[in-house]
Structures are given as structure tokens and as C-alpha cells.
Structure 1
Amino acid sequence: MYRKIIVAVALGGIEKGEKILRKAASLLDAGGEIIALNVIEDIPTYVAVELPANMVEDAMQDSRDQLETLVATTGIAATVEIRNGPPAKAIISTAESHGADLIIVASHVPDFSNYFIGATADRVVRHAKCSVLVDRQKI
């Protein structure tokens, strides 16, 4: 069905990441590609000055390690990519730069501030130029 799928994985809910990675594999065309993506949010400058200089680099390496472990555990062939910045913007940018035709993102059951779907998922749905599958997650 799809030839290039971005699977946005939040490492705080790695079990959700496994579920959406398997969903992506079931929707992938033969010869297609899955890109497992994690986004490290930027740290505000006023906070960053109090943190160790290499904290962002360490967080990116830790994310890469966790995502590579997830991919290896599932046995699904996927390229691992780590980006930093605002999550929705980074997810959309990754999809555009890779020419993806589907983004899969998990969404928790929201509170009143983002009632219909999670804030990141909501932004991705509204601004992505390709199809988006939102996998609803129960907390």
C-alpha cells in the first residue's frame, strides 16, 4: 500500500512504538522503506545553561540506541533517524525530506487542552502533505 512510511516513536512509550512499527510493516509495499523516527525536543536556553554541555548529544545517542533496540526486537527492517526540535515540525520535515507517503503517529487519550487527538498528532494531521495514520493509545 505504501512505499515509504515514517513511524514517529516517543520513547516514553516504547511499547506503543512497537505496536505502530508492526502496523507500518503490515502496510508497507514490497521493496518499501520504514523510517523509525524519534524527536528530541529543544531545551529552552534559560534551562540549557544549567545543564551539562553534552546533554543533547547524549540524549540523541540514547534515543538512537533505544530505537535501534526496538527495531532489532521486532525484526522489522527499518532505518533509524533521530532529529531535534519541535516534534510535529520535525516529523513533517522528515516525511517531506524522504518523500514519505504515510506518517504513523501514536496519540494518547487527550485531556481538554487537546481534546480530539494529542497535540503533536493534531499538528501532524493538520500540516502533513501525505497521509497520516493516528493510532489511538489508551493511557
Structure 2
Amino acid sequence: MYAKILVPVDLSNADKAERMVRKAEALLDQGGQIVLMNVVEDLPNYLAIDVPMDIIENAVRDAKSQLAVLKEKSARISSTEIRSGAPAREILAVAEETGADLIIIASHTPDFTNYFIGATADRVVRHAKCSVLVDR
């Protein structure tokens, strides 16, 4: 069905990330590829003063090791991406750069401010140039 699927994962929930990779594998064409990614969010300026300088570097290092573990579990994962910044913007950028024809994104349990799907998933759905599957 799809030749290249982008799977942005929240590494704080490994089970959900693995489930999303399995879902992507089921939707891939023969010879298709999965691009696995994680976004390390920038700290707001008012917090940056009070946290250690290397917190972002440590988060990127942890993300690399966790993505490597996920990549070992699937031969269909062709590459991994780690970005720093606003999650929706970075997901959309990687989708365009890699030529993804599907993004599988997780939605968290909504609160009052983003009732239907999460804020990041909502932005990705509205602005993506390819199909988006929201995993609940």
C-alpha cells in the first residue's frame, strides 16, 4: 500500500512505539521502508536557565540508543531521525525530506484544550502533504 512510512515515536512509551512499527510493517508495500523518528523538544527560555546545560544533548543521546533498540526489532526500518525543535514542524519536515507517503502518528488521551486528537497530531493532520494515520 505504501512505499515509505514515517513513524514518529514518543520514546516514553516503548510498547506503543513497537505497536506503531508493527502497524507500519503491515501497511508497507513489498520492499517498502519505514523511517523511525523522535523529536527532542526545545526547552522554553524561562526553563533553560534552571536546568543543566547538557540536558538536550543527553536527551538526544538517549533517543539514539532507544531508536537503535527499536530498529533492531524490525528489518523494515531503513533509517532513524532525531530532530530537536517543535514536534509538528520537525515531523512535517522529515516527511517531506524523505518522501514519505504515510505518517503514522500517535494521539494521546485528549484534555479539554485538544479534545479530539493531541496538539501535535492535529497540526500534522492539518498540514501534511501525505496521508496521516492517527493511532489511538
TM-score, length of structure 2 as denominator length: 0.93
Unaligned runs of 5+ in 1: none
Is 1:98 matched up with 2:98?
Answer: yes
- 1:25/1:76 contact within 8 Å kept: no
- Counterpart-to-counterpart distance in 2, 1:24 and 1:130: 15
- Counterpart-to-counterpart distance in 1, 2:44 and 2:108: 25
- Counterpart-to-counterpart distance in 2, 1:35 and 1:105: 12
- Counterpart-to-counterpart distance in 1, 2:37 and 2:11: 10
TM-score, length of structure 1 as denominator length: 0.91
What's the % identity of the aligned pairs? 56
Is 1:36 matched up with 2:47?
Answer: no
Is 1:75 matched up with 2:71?
Answer: no
Root mean square deviation of aligned Cα = 1.2
Q: CA deviation at 1:77?
A: 2.8
- Counterpart-to-counterpart distance in 2, 1:8 and 1:89: 12
Q: Output one character per residue of 1:65-86: Cα deviation in whole Å (capped at 9) or x when no partner.
A: 01111222x3343111100111
1:10 aligns to what SS in structure 2? Answer: coil
2:51 aligns to what SS in structure 1? Answer: coil
- 2:35/2:81 contact within 8 Å kept: yes
Unaligned runs of 5+ in 2: none
